[in-house]
Amino acid sequence: MNKKVILALDNLDLGTALSISNQVKDKLLTVKVGLELYNLAHKTGIKKFNDIGFNNLFLDLKLQDIPSTIYRSILALKEIKFGYLTVMALGGNEMIKQAKKAANELDPNIKILAVTILTSLKNELSKMGFSSSVEDAVVQLAKNSSEADGYVCSALEAKLLREKVSKDKLIFCPGIRMPGDSKDDQARSASPALALQNGADACIMGRSLLQGDVSKNIEKVLNSIK
């Protein structure tokens, strides 16, 4: 995996998202379509990313439901060509197994990524019933998601997953910010360089890249991780 940056198309309308993506597609691993854009554009709109060359779309839908519903929900995505899809680790390994089954029926190359603890969370875990630290919770959720092809976690836990869970599975890290950028609603953030140093395969970046000249912002990131 030579390209290390995934552009998150958050807070954009479909036309703008397509235009920006087409301009910078040669610099990216892929683009991330989250729940907001997916709900706005629906399948017919999201398919337009395939038309401009993104057949490895990252669908960050964070699916969580009973296993049979997840299986059918993923099969319902069949008109879209995508390479990555997120499910919530809290859904359990049987759910992830059914997600993998459905993905394999669509395309054996699709990777199912288990989202561990959202990067917007830090101090709330105890209120949610977790007795462990964020780090331990991420590791345990990843271990319990063994059917997944990889994980989504903050860069701060990526090294732990490499050491304690898997040296080979994919790790995508959101909440990535360049030094000096606003963290916005990210409670556990890190720079692209630190994310890759800690074992991430790709950095997911949205607002830091979309503010201003997107192409120049991506070049700045790429220069920081050479």
By annotation, the residues acting in catalysis are 62
Residue type for position 140 = Q
Output b/e per residue, 69-92; b: 16+ Cβ within 10 A: ebbebbeebeebbbbbbbbbbebb
Three-class SS of residue 104? Answer: helix
Q: Are 205 and 176 in contact (CB under 8 A)?
A: yes
* Span between the terminal Cα atoms of the chain, in Å: 14
Three-class SS of residue 79? Answer: coil
Q: Which residue has the tokens 């060359």?
A: 53
Residue type for position 102 = A
Q: Are 28 and 222 in contact (CB under 8 A)?
A: no
**CA–CA separation, 93 vs 99, rounded Å?**
10
179 Cβ contact list (under 8 Å, min separation 6):
191
Residue type for position 61 = L
**CA–CA separation, 132 vs 65, rounded Å?**
24
Q: Which residue has the tokens 């669908």?
A: 59
